């Protein structure tokens, strides 16, 4: 009976360690990868990916855990961390001249989440190029490539009772294969207001050999999660040069147009966005001029993240303005 209770306590300790995100696990996770594997980005999920082989770990280490006071050693446990490999997929693209080319990128199929990584693709002719994987869930993305590669982006979350996201590190091996490992997360329950933000950063440095010379390179991935209230209604006012309303258009997030053609007399557009929150309704206004070719809308998806889309603006220049 006591042995069973001891095993239960050890399992509880292991589960707490694995499920509670901490910065230490993120940093050490990068250092324990196989030589030649490089951090290339992250795959963001709303739930923790349980890839740890608990059965094998307990089988190999159960007898030694009581001696260590039930402490889980990261170095000894790293080999039990599972991986999910991406598949290399191609998409046929047609240029304006009609030329067709195949565009290749890595995808984690059948895994729900948000990709944000940059990988090296080797073509059949031997040439290589870098391919970035992202989606409409990543906002304000900034990518700089070089000896110090940086990826920065923002995701928007709904202010519901439980807000969480997990940044799962993505690596590329020397043979070109791409995989992810379970990462750490940030979770908060209740009381989240619009504008509240959380940030996770993954940093890695490594040495590469180029033409017989060793060079130090680095990768930094910064993900900011910000709370956003869902918009229930959008109203667009087309205004003339005298600030008089020409046309008024109203729609919700289920029926907005892809493109809006504006009247020739339209000098600017005022957009009112109505948001619903626990504090009540909020109206925000945006001013658009002929320098703006679109307006961004954010749709809350079932995964708890907002996906960005756009309403394209077609400005009709009035002959009287020339």
pLDDT in tens, the chain (322 residues): 444 333 333 333 333 333 333 322 333 333 333 347 899 999 999 888 988 767 777 777 776 665 555 555 555 666 777 889 999 888 777 777 777 777 788 999 889 999 999 998 887 777 788 888 988 999 999 998 878 899 999 999 888 756 788 999 999 998 889 999 999 888 766 667 788 888 999 999 887 777 778 888 899 999 999 988 889 899 999 999 999 999 999 998 888 999 999 999 999 999 999 987 767 788 999 999 999 999 999 998 888 899 999 999 999 865 444 3
Closest CA relative to residue 77, chosen from 59, 57, 96, 62: 57
pLDDT, position 321: 42
β-bridge pairing 306-314 and 38-45: unpaired
| Whether residue 216 is found in the same domain as residue 133 | yes
> End of a domain among 183, 211, 227?
227
Q: How many structural domains are present in the chain?
A: 2
| Whether residue 221 is found in the same domain as residue 262 | no
Does residue 167 contact residue 49 with C-beta atoms inside 8 Å? no
| Whether residue 169 is found in the same domain as residue 272 | no
| Whether residue 16 is found in the same domain as residue 160 | yes
Q: Tell me, rounded to whole angstroms, the distance of Cα 28 from its chain centroid.
A: 21
pTM above 0.95, yes or no: no
| Whether residue 161 is found in the same domain as residue 44 | yes
**pLDDT above 90 covers what percent of the chain?**
40
| Whether residue 175 is found in the same domain as residue 203 | yes
Does residue 280 contact residue 193 with C-beta atoms inside 8 Å? no
> End of a domain among 227, 256, 277?
227
pLDDT, position 318: 52
| Whether residue 91 is found in the same domain as residue 133 | yes
How many CB atoms lie under 10 A from the CB of residue 308? 15
pLDDT, position 24: 27
| Whether residue 154 is found in the same domain as residue 262 | no
20 secondary structure, DSSP code: S
| Whether residue 37 is found in the same domain as residue 111 | yes
| Whether residue 135 is found in the same domain as residue 216 | yes
| Whether residue 187 is found in the same domain as residue 132 | yes
| Whether residue 56 is found in the same domain as residue 119 | yes
Distance (Å, rounded) from C-alpha 178 to C-alpha 246?
A: 54
> End of a domain among 211, 227, 243?
227
Distance (Å, rounded) from C-alpha 164 to C-alpha 304?
A: 9
Q: Which two tokens stand for residue 64?
A: 């030694």
Domain that residue 240 falls in = 231-321
């Amino acid at each position: 009976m006591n042995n069973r209770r001891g095993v239960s306590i050890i399992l509880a300790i292991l589960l707490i360690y694995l499920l509670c995100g901490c910065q230490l696990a993120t940093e050490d996770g990068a250092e324990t990868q196989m030589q030649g594997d490089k951090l290339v980005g992250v795959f963001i999920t709303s739930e923790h990916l349980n890839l740890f082989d608990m059965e094998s770990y307990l089988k190999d280490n159960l007898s030694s855990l009581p001696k260590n006071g039930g402490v889980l050693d990261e170095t000894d446990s790293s080999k039990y961390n599972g991986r999910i490999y991406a598949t290399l997929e191609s998409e046929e693209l047609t240029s304006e001249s009609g030329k067709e080319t195949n565009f290749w990128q890595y995808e984690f199929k059948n895994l729900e989440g948000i990709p944000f990584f940059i990988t090296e693709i080797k073509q059949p002719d031997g040439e290589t190029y870098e391919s970035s994987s992202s989606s409409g869930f990543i906002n304000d993305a900034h990518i700089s490539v070089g000896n110090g590669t940086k990826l920065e982006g923002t995701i928007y979350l709904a202010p519901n009772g439980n807000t969480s996201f997990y940044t799962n590190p993505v690596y590329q091996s020397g043979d070109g294969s791409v995989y992810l490992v379970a990462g750490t997360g940030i979770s908060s329950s209740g009381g989240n207001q619009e504008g509240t933000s959380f940030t996770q950063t993954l940093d890695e440095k490594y040495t590469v050999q180029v033409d017989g010379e060793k060079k130090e390179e680095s990768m930094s991935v910064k993900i900011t999660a910000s709370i956003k209230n869902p918009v229930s209604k959008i109203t667009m006012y087309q205004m003339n040069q005298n600030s008089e309303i020409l046309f008024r258009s109203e729609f919700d997030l289920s029926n907005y147009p892809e493109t809006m053609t504006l009247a020739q007399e339209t000098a600017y557009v005022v957009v009112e966005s109505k948001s619903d929150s626990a504090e009540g309704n909020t109206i925000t206004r945006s001013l658009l001029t002929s320098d703006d070719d679109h307006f961004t809308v954010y749709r809350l998806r079932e995964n708890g993240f907002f996906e960005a889309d756009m309403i394209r603006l077609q400005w009709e220049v009035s002959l009287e303005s020339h």
